[in-house]
Structure 1
Amino acid sequence: MVEKKISDLTIETKGNIYFDGRVTSRSFYKQDGTRFTIGIITPGTYTFDVSDREVIQLIAGEAEILLPAEQEWRRVKAPDTYEVAADNSFRIRCFDVVEYLCDYYKN
């Protein structure tokens, strides 16, 4: 489960804005230097390219995802978690606003 409060972080003030503002997030860094983002996805279908391994947890809402090598869309809802291997892409479609937390892991 995502903690409601996370302490001792550094935040980048510049937002990450994708798809003409329909997906936004902010980057945070833990004391050990690892990065995560917290963001919002508005209704729509989006394709994300992944360079580092990502572990994504829905904080609020539900969506459908199509992960690499999968043929069928899969429904996920808060507090579900899914993982995307490095150097891949995945698709997500949302029918309402979705909030998420994404942890990044270097190869």
Structure 2
Amino acid sequence: MSSVFERVTLRTRANVYFDGKCVSHAFTTANGEEKSAGVILGPNTELGFSTSKAEVMTCVGGSCEYRLRADEEGRAREWITRVEGESFAIEENSSFEIRVKDAYHYVCSYA
């Protein structure tokens, strides 16, 4: 993933979640893709999110561990590590947990 997006429409008002532990800015690329660029601040932060659209989270700095919502039988999923350059996908109308030791920078792409 590119570290620079050219010719975008950027929403200047930040999305601030969890008392400022997660901050992002939404933008639309020149070809109409909806994305956001953000950061989850450490140290040792663990947050839970719900999705309305399918998402792909790409790490552009730092690292994280994530796990998807419990399976149909209520069993917790395993924590999976992602580092810079790696991504993970979350289905629409789903949820996931994410934890970081230090700042985790990401770009989120929406379906």
Aligned pair partner of 1:75 in 65, 78, 81 = 81
CA RMSD of aligned residues (A): 1.1
- How far is the alpha carbon of 1:33 from its aligned partner? 2.8
The Cα offsets for residues 70-101 of structure 1, whole Å up to 9 and x where unpaired, read as 52111111111000000001000001000000
Asked whether 1:51 is paired with 2:49, we answer no
- Judge which range, 75-84 or 24-33, deviates more: 24-33
Segments of structure 1 that go 5 or more residues without pairing to the other structure are: none
| TM-score, normalization by structure 2 | 0.88
Asked whether 1:90 is paired with 2:96, we answer yes
2:19 match: secondary structure: helix
1:28-67 pair list within 5 angstroms: 28-43=27-42, 44-67=45-68
Report the residue type matching 1:90 in the other structure.
Answer: F
Instruction: Give the ranges of 4+ consecutive aligned residues of structure 1 lying more than 4 Å apart after TM superposition.
Output: none
The Cα offsets for residues 4-41 of structure 1, whole Å up to 9 and x where unpaired, read as 22111100010000000110000011233321000000
Percentage of identical aligned residues: 28
May I ask how many residue pairs the two structures share in their alignment?
A: 104
- How far is the alpha carbon of 1:67 from its aligned partner? 1.2
Please identify which structure carries the higher strand content. Answer: 1
